[in-house]
Structure 1
Amino acid sequence: MNNGKAYKGSCFCGAVQFTVSGEPQGMGYCHCESCRSWSAGPVNAFTLWKPEAVQITQGAENIGTYNKTPRSYRKWCKICGGHLFTEHPGMGLTDVYAAVIPDFPYHAGVHVNYQETVLPIKDGLPKMKDLPKEMGGSGVSMAE
């Protein structure tokens, strides 16, 4: 569903700017070791978008890419090191980190990779052992 609304985002220094438009395909928290290490935090707040909903509006030449696995291509600003998003080609989605789109009305719907959590969160949201089946996971839920 595209509500026509666009939200601006940027890296830490502002050299890379982008917009996301419409509605994300999903929102939640990832607890996997890769996201925790990449974000330098105990959990990553994600928003998943179709790639065509993410438009770089400034500084595309300043975007670096790293892929530890073929499932995730992590993007950051080569000037300030600020993290921007992760492309997930197998899912056909781009994870735009919720923190880099400050005016977007973020509302988490699920916790994924909760079996790896280092910060248990009791918020009443579903806790997935890994990923939902439609995203290639087991679809197994865990207790809070």
Structure 2
Amino acid sequence: MGQYQGSCFCGTVKFQVSGAPEAMGYCHCDSCRRWSAGPVNAFSLWPGDRLEILSGADQVGEFHLTEQSYRKWCKQCGGHVFTDHPTWGLVDVYVANLPGLKFEPALHVHYQESVLPIRDGLPKMKDVPAEMGGSGETLPE
């Protein structure tokens, strides 16, 4: 069982996750793209009880547009750290913030909203897998 430490951009908020992520992949939804200011977001989903904030918990800000995603950032530097997904019982720790984690993406989600087609042979989900409340439909690369 591994432990992976990460932090916000300035290092004020430090955290770790333990074990293995439930899933890793890429999200192409408009919300993630706008939040990350990038064309795609690399995610790692962990059970919420596997995330521990080591320091700077009082500096974690939160915003949620919907009940699906509670986005968290550092109040000092504005660096994004993770997103709670309470309806799934999972937290998305952004892969860029876990330098020791070997990123092994298994799929792309919300590919119907993609602005950056990626031809890597991985499944391209129209939205999210059926187990997570989505259609389970895949799209061609």
- Bin the TM-score by the shorter chain: over 0.9
In 1, Cα distance between equivalents of 2:92 and 2:57? 17
Identical-residue share of aligned pairs (%): 60
TM-score by length of structure 2 reads 0.99
RMSD: 0.4
**Structure-2 residue corresponding to 1:61:** 58
The number of equivalent residue pairs is 141
Which structure 2 residues correspond to residues 1-12 of structure 1 after superposition, within 5 A?
Answer: 3=1, 5-12=2-9
1:126 to 2:123 alignment: yes
TM-score by length of structure 1 reads 0.97
In 2, Cα distance between equivalents of 1:132 and 1:7? 26
1:44 to 41, 54, 69: 41
**Unaligned 5+ runs, structure 2:** none
Runs of 4+ in structure 1 deviating by more than 2 angstroms, as ranges, are none
Q: Deviations over 1:74-104 (max 9, x none)?
A: 0000000000000000011000000000111
In 2, Cα distance between equivalents of 1:118 and 1:80? 28
What's the offset of the Cα at 1:46? 0.1
In 2, Cα distance between equivalents of 1:23 and 1:102? 14
